[in-house]
């Protein structure tokens, strides 16, 4: 599993204990996009073992797990460790919520949950927990990666092969918009609307900025590898 060995220094590590492979994978990928070092476990037992050997900064845990269930899992986590625990469950009964929090969980969210909400809750939790813990890791800055191209929407910077690329505000917004919908075509109209806020206008404007952006982020701007044109449709950013 990604990042299992080689936990990056300076990154915040999150352990996801969830038996459904699809959901676990989706969570792991989303967390990594947000700049976390995410590790998965399919059962409570495995999760506890991983956490003991290689403690994460946060644990996300499902309630319905084969074998040891979520509640037991939380109690075990609480026994060894003071790691913040967030329950991510499909059930939204008050009874479950209360039981999980009583068992020692710090928060409880109901699936499906937006990744942005989840990370906002992790940050809120960190703010609370940090008062106590001395050298807690700094908040990770999310980075979207496209091959050697790295875009950090929050950091306001773009790097190519690790080197910072100076882009203007408009270019940056355009790039972020494309990056957030990576792999999908966005029409000039859509881009005008989302980047410029124009409801109508000259679509050539988009071309010009795409062109300037290519000069900066593509190694060979004439034959773009990431920021590609789809004739008659628009542009897309791809890996």
Partner DNA sequence: AGATCTATGACAGTTGCGTGACAAATCCGC
Partner DNA sequence: GCGGATTTGTCACGCAACTGTCATAGATCT
Interacting residue ranges for DNA, rule: CB under 7 A: 166, 168-171, 188, 196, 201-205, 207-212, 214-215, 221-222, 229-234
Give the Cα separation of 2 and 28 in Å (integer).
9
Among 42, 129, 137, 205, binds a copy of itself (CB under 8 A): 129
Closest by CA position to 177, among listed 163, 196, 159, 150: 196
Range 24-83, binding a copy of itself (CB under 8 A): 82
At closest approach, how far in Å is the CB of 222 from DNA? 5
Rounded to whole angstroms, how far apart are CA atoms 185 and 88?
A: 33
> Which residue stretch of 56-64, 130-138, 196-204, 210-218 sits at the interface with a copy of itself (rule: CB under 8 A)?
130-138
The answer to whether residues 118 and 126 touch, using CB atoms and an 8 Å cutoff, is no
CA distance 135 to 49: 24
Question: Taking CB within 5 to 8 Å according to partner kind, which of a copy of itself, DNA, none is near residue 90?
Answer: none
Task: Confirm or reject binding of residue 98 to a copy of itself (CB under 8 A).
Answer: yes
Among 172, 175, 176, 226, binds a copy of itself (CB under 8 A): 172
Give the nearer residue to a copy of itself in terms of CB position, either 66 or 138: 138
List 59's β-bridge partners, or say none: 15, 85
Q: Using the rule CB under 8 A, is 222 a contact of a copy of itself?
A: no
Question: What span, in angstroms and rounded, lies between the C-alpha atoms of 181 and 201?
Answer: 22
Q: Are 80 and 50 in contact (CB under 8 A)?
A: no
- Residue 11 binding partner per list DNA, a copy of itself, none, with a CB distance cut-off of 5 to 8 Å that depends on partner kind: none
When CB distances are held under 5 to 8 angstroms depending on the partner's kind, the choice from a copy of itself, DNA, none that residue 211 binds is DNA
Q: Which of a copy of itself, DNA, none is residue 229 near (CB under 5 to 8 Å by kind)?
A: DNA
Pairwise CA distance, residues 175 & 160, whole Å:
13
Check residue 231 for interaction with a copy of itself (CB under 8 A).
yes
Question: What is the spatial distance between Cα 14 and Cα 55, in angstroms, rounded to a whole number?
Answer: 9
* Residue 141 CA, distance from chain mean position: 10
Of 49 and 116, which CB lies nearer to a copy of itself in the complex structure?
116
């Amino acid at each position: 599993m990604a990042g299992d060995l080689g936990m990056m220094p300076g990154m915040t590590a999150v352990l996801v204990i969830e038996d459904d492979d699809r959901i676990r994978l989706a969570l792991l990928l989303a967390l990594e996009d947000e700049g976390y070092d995410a590790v998965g476990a399919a059962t409570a037992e495995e999760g506890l073992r991983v956490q003991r050997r290689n403690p994460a900064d946060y644990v996300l845990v499902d309630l319905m797990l084969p074998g040891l269930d979520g509640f037991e899992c939380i109690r075990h986590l609480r026994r060894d460790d003071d790691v913040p625990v967030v329950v991510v469950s499909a059930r939204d009964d008050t009874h479950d919520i209360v039981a999980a929090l009583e068992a020692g969980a710090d928060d409880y969210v109901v699936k499906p949950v937006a990744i942005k909400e989840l990370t906002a809750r992790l940050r809120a939790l960190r703010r609370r927990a940090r008062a106590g813990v001395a050298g807690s890791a700094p908040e990770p800055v999310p980075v979207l990666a496209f091959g050697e191209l790295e875009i950090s929407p929050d950091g306001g910077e773009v790097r190519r092969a690790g080197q910072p690329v100076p882009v203007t505000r408009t270019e940056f917004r355009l790039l972020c918009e494309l990056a957030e919908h990576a792999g999908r075509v966005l029409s000039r109209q859509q881009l005008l609307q989302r980047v410029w806020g124009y409801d109508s206008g000259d679509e050539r404007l988009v071309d010009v900025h795409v062109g300037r952006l290519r000069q900066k982020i593509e190694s060979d701007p004439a034959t773009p590898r990431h920021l590609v044109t789809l004739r008659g449709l628009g542009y897309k950013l791809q890996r």
